[in-house]
Amino acid sequence: MKYGIIGYSGRMGQEIKRLFSESGHELVYKKDEDGVEVIETPELLIDFSLREVFPETIKIVKEQEVPLIIGTTGLTVSDFEMLKDLAEDLPVIQSFNFSIGINILSELVKKVNQYVDEDWDIEISETHHRFKKDKPSGTAIMLGDLIDRDLEMHSKRLGSEFGEHEVDFASTGEVLTLKHRAYSREAFSRGVLMSAEKILDLDAGLYSFKDILNK
């Protein structure tokens, strides 16, 4: 497919380009803070840029009239209104986390939570590289929100660990552990690739990445 990236020189922009090239897709539209380069009209646009340029992203997508995959963080309620508006005419896939594994993990956590009663202990642990300041990680908080109780969270900061999350469920008889580790940014770009491969067949509408995963 022929695709475009808004936020092309960012880390995710570069990683998406790498994986999509490897998979035989052609980058025909690049935009970043230094400007825009249009080789050809893209079949879809992927936005991993900054909240600040969100209004411009919307404008571009409307002009190009192509489906949008957006992973930019920090979107506000009114930004989501603009996405819904856009999604009346075009397919739009929005997520704050395009990792296939993390999205499966959160489905599993919800499932286990249905089975275990209050007599099971539940704790969440996460390990990230030493430069990550916030504790616990956003993903750990998201996982905790899936469970109907307050629970202990443990945050290790070690070396260059890209990102590991673990949820433990224990009764006095046994312990069940669900663990996810991302090797690299490819954990996210693979989810973007899966989205890109499906978006051209979608009807107009606003989709989460979980919608795509469940198709």
List, by residue number, the catalytic residues. 128, 132
Nearer CB in complex with its own copies: 79/168: 168
Nearer CB in complex with its own copies: 31/198: 198
Phi and psi dihedrals of 50, rounded to 5?
-120, 150
For residue 126, state whether it binds its own copies (rule: CB under 8 A). Answer: no
For residue 173, state whether it binds its own copies (rule: CB under 8 A). Answer: yes
For residue 159, state whether it binds its own copies (rule: CB under 8 A). Answer: yes
Binding to its own copies (CB under 8 A): which residues in 133-152?
152
Classify residue 11 as left (phi > 0), alpha (psi -120 to 50) or beta: alpha
Which residues share a beta bridge with 44?
3
Phi and psi dihedrals of 76, rounded to 5?
-95, 170
C-alpha closest to that of 129 among 153, 95, 160, 155: 160
For residue 107, state whether it binds its own copies (rule: CB under 8 A). Answer: yes
User: How far from 41 is each of 65, 66, 181, CA to CA, in Å?
Assistant: 10, 9, 37
User: Distance between CA atoms of 189 and 210, rounded to whole angstroms?
Assistant: 15
Task: Work out which of 72, 99, 106, 139 binds its own copies, going by CB under 8 A.
Answer: 99
For residue 115, state whether it binds its own copies (rule: CB under 8 A). Answer: yes
For residue 183, state whether it binds its own copies (rule: CB under 8 A). Answer: yes
User: Distance between CA atoms of 134 and 155, rounded to whole angstroms?
Assistant: 9
For residue 101, state whether it binds its own copies (rule: CB under 8 A). Answer: yes
For residue 190, state whether it binds its own copies (rule: CB under 8 A). Answer: yes
Output DSSP code: residue 73: S
For residue 184, state whether it binds its own copies (rule: CB under 8 A). Answer: yes
Nearer CB in complex with its own copies: 50/116: 116
Which residues share a beta bridge with 144?
none
Check whether the bond before 136 is cis (ω within 30° of 0). yes
Task: Work out which of 28, 75, 82, 100 binds its own copies, going by CB under 8 A.
Answer: 100
CB of residue 18 to its own copies, shortest distance in Å: 12
Q: Which residues would be at the binding site for its own copies (CB under 8 A)?
A: 99-102, 104-105, 107-108, 111-112, 115-116, 121, 123, 125, 129-130, 152, 154, 156-162, 168-184, 186-190, 213
